[in-house]
Amino acid sequence: MIDKRVESLASAVADICDGATVMVGGFGEAGSPIELIHALIDQGATGLTVINNNTGSGEVGLAALIKAGRVAKMICSYPRSLNSTVFPELYKAGKIELELVPQGTLAERIRAGGAGIPAFFTATSVGTPLEIGKEKRTFGSREYVLEFGLSADFSLIKCKRADPYGNLIYNKTARNFGPAMAMAGKVTIVQSESIVPAGEIDPENIITPGIFVNRVVLVENPQHESALVAAGVSYP
Amino acid sequence: MSPEMSNSEIIGRTRDEMAKRVAQDIPDGSYVNLGIGIPELIAKFVPEGREFIYHTENGLLGMGPSPAEGEGNPELINAGKRQVTALPGASYFHHPDSFAMIRGGHIDLCVLGALQVAKNGDLANWSTGGPDAIPAVGGAMDLVAGVKCIFVVTQHCTKQGSPKLVDECTYPLTGPGVVNRIYTDLAVIEITPRGFQLIELSPGVSFEYAQERTGAPLLPIAP
């Protein structure tokens, strides 16, 4: 019988190993799986490559993982934003590597990685410093650069509702990178605000089909990053 | 505040007036992406009888204004990570779909801020290229590569008084030859094969005043 539910956050992330590549869903705080990230901090894996649009804020969630020294490399589009201090300090000190990727290219690289597409051409970044080192080709009268698909050993994602088969629906703009990262993770781990019996989510409304999901853990009242940052919380 | 900085010395359009002027040039029914800063103000000035649909690249079409105090949702935000609302007829979607709208040429118009715009339409708005700068690009390069029409709204000069409209950009480019029109506190300017073509001067601004503050020749308005 298929049942992707796991009992605890700790067991959900138990096998994430040192040096793993981990995709982390979310755009800013919307969709950030804070509880899964905190479980990963407790678990102790280090030397990670993390793929996320940003680098977290304050000293909770992704920023706390970086602050704990567990992240060797970030692949992201926008590593500095409001209340983001942990990454900039480590980056300036040369203690963390950065691969800067335009946001649409990042999204498409993740989608391609999940869809079995090794590489694709795009016009984004042509004629800018971010084209350096990329193979170029002309289609019609326009130049394009070659970009490679991205996949990950693990993806950590937050959603609104799941069922035991791993079918997911999201909440508003917290959907963002979740569906693509679910496809691109070899092991996709989801925290969900509710888990309902199979059949209760209308199949017409399912956003991520369960085939892309390996584990679902219930986190009924997820914390909000902005509230934690405003309260000055630091994890652990 | 020193006397020479007082409001009585401000010449040209305010930020709100610049936003209002841009809104006049957006056709009815346009799908529009607004950048951070002055572009965000445009939504307040939709001309009577027109409807624009706002796209925010983090996954919402039909974005509405900020929520009332205490009614926001931390999972309903815009690209600037500020809380917004969803209007009737809105839709949510994931990142690859959102950027397919941008990169696939489905968004009609994008209004962005700028560090520099060159006379050939080159745009620099993501990095000063300084050795201490943390590079951060977000969706800017995707927008200029994929959106059909790019408007820039910006102050004519930096806070230090240097022209932002230049012969050639010295900052790293966001995209080459991508800008169609520039709206500043002093003027509206179109990028043409011959350079900066003046479309109109703001009330109280002379051609000489605008030219002195522009880093390349301004082509006068045709008589």
Q: A135 in a domain, yes or no? A: no
Q: Which residue has tokens 């709100």?
A: B16
Q: What range does the domain containing B66 cover?
A: 3-216
| pLDDT of B130 strictly over 80 | yes
pLDDT of A83 reads 82
| Partner residue facing A27 (CB), from B58, B102, B103 | B58
A175–B59 CB contact, under 8 Å:
yes
| pLDDT of B149 strictly over 60 | yes
User: What is the overall mean pLDDT for chain B?
Assistant: 93
d(CA A185, CA A23): 7
What are the start-end ranges of the E strands in chain A? 21-24, 48-51, 71-76, 97-100, 119-122, 136-139, 142-148, 152-162, 168-169, 185-195, 215-218
Chain B hits for A176, CB-CB cut-off 8 Å, are 58-59, 94-95
Number of folded domains that form chain B = 1
From edge to edge, which strands make up the β-sheet containing B123-124?
Answer: B123-124, B116-118, B165-166
Q: What range does the domain containing A86 cover?
A: 15-116+151-224
A172–B75 CB contact, under 8 Å:
yes
Residue A183 has φ and ψ, to the nearest 5°, of: -70, -35
CATH of the domain at A53: 3.40.1080.10
SS (H, E, C) chain B: CCHHHCHHHCCCCCHHHHHHHHHHCCCCCCEEEECCCHHHHHHHHCCCCCCCEEEECCCEEEEECCCCCCCCCCCCECCCCCECEEEEEEEECCHHHHHHHHHCCCCCEEEECCCEEECCCCEECCCCCCCCCCCCCCCHHHHHHHCCEEEEECCCECCCCCECEECCCCCCCCECCCCCEEECCCEEEEEECCEEEEEEECCCCCHHHHHHCCECCEECCCC
Q: B221 in a domain, yes or no? A: no
Q: A2 in a domain, yes or no? A: no
Q: Is the dihedral of CA A212, A214, A219, A220 positive or negative?
A: positive
CATH of the domain at B146: 3.40.1080.10
Q: Is the dihedral of CA B75, A23, A98, B58 positive or negative?
A: negative
Closest CA to B182 of B149, B141, B160: B149
pLDDT bracket for residue B134 (50, 70, 90)? confident
Number of folded domains that form chain A = 1
A105–B175 CB contact, under 8 Å:
no
Q: A91 in a domain, yes or no? A: yes
Q: Tell me: the pLDDT tens digits for A165-197?
A: 999 999 999 999 999 999 999 999 999 999 999
Q: B223 in a domain, yes or no? A: no
Q: List the beta bridge partners of residue B32.
A: B54, B109
Q: A111 in a domain, yes or no? A: yes
What number is the average pLDDT over the span A59-69? 97
A173–B139 CB contact, under 8 Å:
no
Chain B hits for A171, CB-CB cut-off 8 Å, are 75
Q: A146 in a domain, yes or no? A: no
pLDDT bracket for residue B129 (50, 70, 90)? confident
Q: B176 in a domain, yes or no? A: yes
Contacts of residue B53, defined as CB under 8 A and 6 or more positions apart, other chains included, come to B29, B30, B31, B32, B61, B62, B89
Q: A212 in a domain, yes or no? A: yes
Q: B222 in a domain, yes or no? A: no
Nearest 5°: the CA angle B141, A173, B67 is: 105
Catalytic hit among B4, B51, B57, B69: B57
| Partner residue facing A100 (CB), from B60, B135, B145 | B135
Q: Following CA atoms B184, B50, B103, A84 in sequence, which dihedral angle do they give, to the nearest 10 degrees? A: 60
d(CA A78, CA B187): 32
Chain A hits for B132, CB-CB cut-off 8 Å, are 92
Q: A180 in a domain, yes or no? A: yes
| Partner residue facing A100 (CB), from B94, B137, B174 | B137
Q: Tell me: the pLDDT tens digits for B102-123?
A: 999 999 999 999 999 999 999 9
Q: Tell me: the pLDDT tens digits for A8-29?
A: 999 999 999 999 999 999 999 9
Asked if A57 contacts A229 with a C-beta cutoff of 8 angstroms, the reply is yes
| pLDDT of B3 strictly over 90 | no
Residue B131 has φ and ψ, to the nearest 5°, of: -65, -25
pLDDT of B9 reads 61
Closest CA to A154 of A12, A20, A25: A20
Known active-site residue B75: no
| pLDDT of A43 strictly over 60 | yes
